[in-house]
A and B are shown apart, each in its own frame.
Chain A
Amino acid sequence: MSVSVRIPTILRTYTGGAAEVSAEGATLAEVIDSLEKAYPGIAARLLDDTGKLRRFVNVYVNDDDVRFADGLETATADGASVSVIPAVAGGC
C-alpha cells in the first residue's frame, strides 16, 4: 500500500525540505513506521511516550480526521493521501 503524506513545515527538516513524501502501510500506524525508517526521528514528533498521537497533532486520511475514524488503526488504502497538520490553529 503506497500512500502520499503531506508534511507540515515544522517537520520538513526530517524530509530534507520535502512537503510531500510517499510511504507504505495498510494502517496509519504502519505508515508512521514506514516514515520513521525513511526519516529517523519523525515518529517521536508525531507520537507521545505511550505511542499515541500527540494531542496537538491532527492527522487526516483523505478528508477524514483519524480521531473520527480508528485513530492509528485507521486504514490507509493504496493511493490514499495522509495529511499531518498542527492542531493549534484557528478560532480565538
Chain B
Amino acid sequence: MATPTIAHTPVSPGAFGVAVALSCRECGERYDLGPKFACEFCFGPLEVAYDFSGGVTREQIAAGPNNIWRYAGLLPVPADVAARPNLNPGFTKLVEARNLGRELGIRELYVKDDSGNPTHSFKDRVVAIAVEAARNFGFTTLSCSSTGNLAGAVGAAAARAGLRSCVFIPSDLEAGKVVTAAAYGGELVAIEGNYDEVNRFCSELIGDEAGEGWGFVNVNLRPYYGEGSKTLAYEIAEQHGWRIPEQIVIPIASGSQLTKIDKGFRELIKLGLVEDTPYKIFGAQAEGCSPVSAAWKAGHDVIRPVKPNTIAKSLAIGNPADGPYVLDVCKRTGGAVEDVNDEQVVEAIKLLARTEGIFGETAGGVTVGCLKKLVETGQLDPEASTVVLNTGDGLKTLDAIEATTGATATIRPSLDAFRAAGLA
C-alpha cells in the first residue's frame, strides 16, 4: 500500500551505518529507513533493525573516542559520525558507590551518573542520534515535546549542528529547566497543558503542513532517537569490565530508556562482547505518576493512563508509550517495577548527595528511592552487583529541595560567633 510519508531527502548509502530497516515491534512489518515512527498496519512502534554480520570487537570500541561514538558500529549513524558537528555526549562516570551501598546494605553498588552529559541529562545521548537522522533526511528544524531536559538537549544540539530549533514544553515546568532550555536561543514554546497534551499537540503538528521539514526527535525520528539509550547499556557493561551487572534500576517516563538498555545488553551478548549472564531489570516511578508500577502490581499487561501529580516532572508521562514493553522486560528478566512518593524522592536526592557527592535531579531521587525500597522489601538481592541510574542534574530541580535545604547556620564573621553557634 502506498502511504503518504513526510517529504525528505533520499537517504544515501551508509548514512545509517549497519542499520538496514525499520521494523514494527508489534507485528514485525518492515519498512525502509525513513522518518516514520508508527506501523501503518497496527500503529505499533517502529524500531531500528541492523545487520551485525560484520561483527564489532572490544578493540574497535576501545580505539574510538571517549563518547557514544565509540559504539558507532552499533548505532544508526554513518561511520564518520565523530567528525560531524554534534555535542558528542556519553562515556559518563560509573561511580563505585561504597557509601550508599553501605547505607543501603548492598555489597556492590554503582551509580551511572549521566548528569555529566553536555546539557546535564541522559537526553544528549538520544538527541545526538536524532540529529544525525535529521541531517540524513534533510530536515532543517529540530523539535520535540519535552518535560524540560529534552528541550535543552535539542536546543543545544541544534545550535551545534546549525539547525533551527523549536521545542514544546508544559507551561508549569521548573524554572531551572525552562532557563537552561531557553539559553540556547531556539524557539521555546510553553503550552498550557500537561506533558501528554503537549505530546498530542506535537503529533498533530507533524501531520500538518505547518510541521513540514521538521524533525521531531521523539515523534518522527523516535526510532533513531531511542537507540541512543542503548549506549547506557554499552557503557555500563564496558566500564564494569565487559560484564553485565546482575541488577539495574532504571527510571520510567515513557519506558523507552528501560527497554533500550535491555536491547543494548542483548546486542552485546549476541555479538559476543560480553558473557551471556543473567540480569534483572527494575523500573522506578514516582507514586504521583505510576501507571506502569500500578499495572505491574496488579498483574495487568495493559497500562491505564493517569493524570500526573508529582515533583518528578521529568518522569511525569501519564500515558507511557513503551509501558507494555517495560512490563515484558521486567517480567522476562525477573525484575520488578516499584514507586516512591514525593517525600521519599526528596529524601533519596539528599541520600545520594550526602553519601556519594552526586546531586541528582528528581528522576535520580525516584530511582535511588526505589532502589532503597526494593532492597527493604526483599525484591532486590543485596549480594548481587547492582547499578542505579542518575539521569539528570539536581541543579535543574532546585525547587524540589529548596524548602528543606539551605545554610545550616548564619553567623557574624567572627570566631566568637562561630563558637557561640556550637560549630567549633
Please give the residue numbers on chain A whose beta carbons come within 8 Å of chain B beta carbons, in ascending order.
6-10, 12-13, 17, 19, 45, 54-58, 60, 63, 65, 67-68, 83, 85-92
Contact = CB atoms under 8 A, between A and B. Distances in A.
Contact of A92 (B4, B36, B37, B126): B126
B256 A9 contact: no
B391 to A, nearest CB: 9
Contacts of A54: 42-43
Contact of B1 (A8, A13, A67): A13
Given A9-B207, A17-B4, A45 B321 contact: no
Most buried by B among A6, A54, A58, A89: A89
A45 B218 CA distance: 23
A8 B132 CA distance: 26
Contacts of B222: 88-89
Contacts of B319: 58, 65, 67, 87
Interface stretch (B135-143, B196-204, B332-340, B401-409): B196-204
A17 B26 CA distance: 26
A9 B206 contact: yes
Nearest to B324: A55
5 contacts: A67-B305, A88-B44, A88-B222, A89-B222, A90-B254
A92 B1 CA distance: 30
Contacts of A7: 207
Contacts of A65: 196, 305, 319
Contacts of A56: 26, 38-39, 42-45, 321
A90 B317 contact: yes
A67 to B, nearest CB: 6
B204 A87 contact: no
Contacts of B43: 10, 45, 54, 56-57, 86-88
A13 B3 contact: yes
Contacts of B42: 45, 54, 56
A16 B27 CA distance: 25
Interface of B: 1-6, 26, 36-46, 122-123, 126, 145, 150, 195-197, 199-200, 202-204, 206-208, 216, 218-219, 222, 225-226, 229, 253-257, 302, 304-305, 307, 317, 319-322, 324
Contact of B200 (A55, A68, A85, A88): A85
A92 B196 CA distance: 13
A74 to B, nearest CB: 14
Contacts of B41: 45
B37 A88 contact: yes
B113 to A, nearest CB: 18
Contacts of B216: 89
A57 B45 CA distance: 11
A92 B207 contact: no
Contacts of B206: 9
Given A58-B200, A89-B199, A91-B199, 19 more contacts: A12-B3, A12-B4, A13-B4, A19-B207, A19-B208, A56-B45, A67-B305, A86-B37, A87-B43, A87-B321, A88-B45, A89-B216, A89-B321, A90-B145, A90-B317, A91-B317, A91-B322, A92-B218, A92-B225
B52 to A, nearest CB: 24
A17 B6 CA distance: 12
Nearest to A7: B207
A86 B319 CA distance: 12
B207 A91 contact: no
Contact of B302 (A55, A83, A85): A55
B303 to A, nearest CB: 8
Contacts of B46: 88
A9 B205 CA distance: 11
Nearest to B193: A63
A86 B39 CA distance: 9
Contacts of B307: 68
A60 B44 CA distance: 18
Contact of A91 (B203, B204, B320): B320
A86 B216 CA distance: 14
Contact of B226 (A6, A17, A92): A92
